[in-house]
Amino acid sequence: MQELLRTAHEALEFGEECVLCTVVRLIGSGYGRPGARLLLTESGDRVGYISGGCLEKDLCRQAWGLTESGPRLVAYDTRSGTIQSTRFNTGCEGIVYILCQRIRTLDAPAIRVPSLLDRHDNPIRLATIYSSDSPLVQAGDTVAILSGAEVNSTLDDSAAEIEDILIERMREAKQSRSVEIEDADSNVIEVFVEILTPPPHLVICGAGDDVIPVVDFARRLDWNVTVLGHRPEQTTPARFEQARVRCGQIADLLKEVDLGSRSYPLLMTHDFACDVQLLPVLLDSPAPSIGILGPKRRLARLISELAQKGRPVSLSEAARIRAPLGLDLGAITPAEIACSIVGEIITLERGRTGGPLHESPRPIHDSPPHEREIPLVSTATVGVPSCSLAESDS
């Protein structure tokens, strides 16, 4: 998301228009889940994805023409036996609905609202209308709940009742999903309710060579990364591209870092005495997890040392500590270890265990509640007859 937003900002600041393509609904299976985004710029840049690469070429060919006079909804049917399944040969067995919007200014909610994530510790809820029978709202209209009771809406006063309904549905939502509402005249409005979560903040204490691949992986995921080190020759921005790099006494630097509920601190100092200083600071923070490099016996020494210094570690605090760091991949090289560390944080973010998918009895992705199928309204369909959509989301 962050790379996409940066690209959009750069293009718009230079006077270029963009097209933003967002997966708003998925029936069956597909690579790009609802919320997946693809940005196209006039100069030819392409950032993001809506599939594994099988649909992008066709969408890029059509997107500029489709959005010339306003947002358009495109549907790709990749189910077996359809024309498109033969054409694209994805094997995904699903129908992907993509809202394409022309972005002309930085004030466009589709860009401006996600850009606010860096200023919020809590998720932002964004409702985007992608199909409407109602004369009061149209595709592309949005309502956002930024924090608490702060609401940002593009709806007119005449649509106040619709806005109230949307806000209620947004607050009820447990995950991103498409919903159907109606206006006072029973006109159908289809809306993508999205829960936008701020990126994790990886705070790495230590600036050794083994930190470099961790930063590389984390930045590939668009996470915010802070590196704290005490050796000037190691703690340089050139070694850790796109990370915030601070050099000095790590214990002092750590007190200046905003460790919130989206922070994942990692102790990679290779310095036992330093970790004894740092661990109490981390335990006193709201960080949900604290990773420590090294074996369990090293952790036991740390806890014992803290107890002797009058700072015992409670059971609830110990439950937040993860040592050794990472998933059990049998990792040996620094890159493999970095992969296991970042992989573990992803499992914490998603509430998963990290086991082999082929042994899991549950689906790869959590499914939204069952929704009855709704005929498409004002839609540019690509090989999808509106009367044939009769499968539930999965």
Instruction: Please spell the DSSP secondary structure of 176-245, one letter per residue.
Output: -EEEEEE-TT--EEEEEEEEEPPPPEEEEE--STTHHHHHHHHHHTT-EEEEEES-TTT--TTTSTTSEE
Residue type, 174: K
Q: Per mean pLDDT, which range of 5-14, 122-131, 303-312, 357-366 is the poorest?
A: 357-366
The answer to whether position 158 is within a domain reads yes
Q: Is 148 helix (H, G, I), strand (E, B) or coil?
A: coil
The arithmetic mean of pLDDT across residues 80-100, rounded, is 65
Nearest to 380 by CA among 84, 87, 59: 59
Q: Is pLDDT at 60 greater than 50 in this prediction? A: yes
* Residue 208: HSE in the Cβ half-sphere, 13 Å Cα cutoff: 12
Q: Per mean pLDDT, which range of 44-58, 73-87, 209-223, 290-304 is the poorest?
A: 73-87
The arithmetic mean of pLDDT across residues 219-236, rounded, is 95
pTM: 0.80
The answer to whether position 61 is within a domain reads yes
Nearest to 228 by CA among 183, 263, 196: 263
Q: In angstroms, rounded to a whole number, what is the distance separating the alpha carbons of residues 165 and 111?
A: 24
pLDDT in tens, 96-135: 899 999 999 999 999 999 988 877 678 899 999 999 999 9
Q: In angstroms, rounded to a whole number, what is the distance separating the alpha carbons of residues 204 and 214?
A: 9
pLDDT of residue 355: 82
The arithmetic mean of pLDDT across residues 159-188, rounded, is 93
Q: Are residues 245 and 321 in the same domain?
A: yes
Q: In angstroms, rounded to a whole number, what is the distance separating the alpha carbons of residues 37 and 3?
A: 11
Q: Are residues 258 and 163 in the same domain?
A: no
Is pLDDT larger for residue 244 or for residue 370?
244
Average pLDDT of every residue of the chain:
86
SS (H, E, C) 367-378: CCCCCCCCCCCC
Q: In angstroms, rounded to a whole number, what is the distance separating the alpha carbons of residues 284 and 286?
A: 7
The answer to whether position 382 is within a domain reads no
Is pLDDT larger for residue 25 or for residue 29?
25
pLDDT of residue 90: 52
Q: Are residues 187 and 117 in the same domain?
A: yes
Is pLDDT larger for residue 28 or for residue 11?
11
State how far Cα 203 lies from the chain centre. Answer: 18
Instruction: Count the neighbouring beta carbons within 10 Å of the beta carbon of residue 175.
Output: 14
Q: Is pLDDT at 375 greater than 90 in this prediction? A: no
Q: Are strands 94-103 and 18-28 parallel, antiparallel or unpaired?
A: antiparallel
Q: Are residues 175 and 208 in the same domain?
A: no
Q: Which residue has the tokens 């605090």?
A: 317
Q: Which residue among 53, 80, 103 closes a domain? A: 103
Is pLDDT larger for residue 207 or for residue 52?
207
The arithmetic mean of pLDDT across residues 218-245, rounded, is 94
Phi-psi region of 383 (alpha: psi -120 to 50; beta: other; left: phi over 0): left
Q: Which residue among 84, 103, 122 closes a domain? A: 103
Q: How confident is the model at residue 27 (pLDDT cuts 50, 70, 90)?
A: confident
The answer to whether position 133 is within a domain reads yes
Q: Are residues 179 and 211 in the same domain?
A: no
The answer to whether position 383 is within a domain reads no
Q: Are residues 66 and 48 in the same domain?
A: yes
The answer to whether position 270 is within a domain reads yes
Q: In angstroms, rounded to a whole number, what is the distance separating the alpha carbons of residues 222 and 200?
A: 9
The answer to whether position 164 is within a domain reads yes
Q: Is pLDDT at 371 greater than 60 in this prediction? A: no
Q: Are residues 240 and 284 in the same domain?
A: yes
Query: For the chain, what is the domain count?
Result: 3
Q: In angstroms, rounded to a whole number, what is the distance separating the alpha carbons of residues 240 and 213?
A: 9
Q: Which residue among 197, 219, 247 closes a domain? A: 197
pLDDT of residue 1: 85
Q: What percent of the chain has pLDDT over 70?
A: 88
The answer to whether position 367 is within a domain reads no
* Residue 252: HSE in the Cβ half-sphere, 13 Å Cα cutoff: 5
Q: Is pLDDT at 210 greater than 80 in this prediction? A: yes
Domain assignment of residue 63, given as a range = 2-103
Nearest to 269 by CA among 242, 289, 250: 250
Mark out the alpha helices in the chain (DSSP H runs): 2-13, 56-66, 83-88, 109-115, 160-172, 211-220, 250-255, 272-283, 296-308, 315-318, 334-350
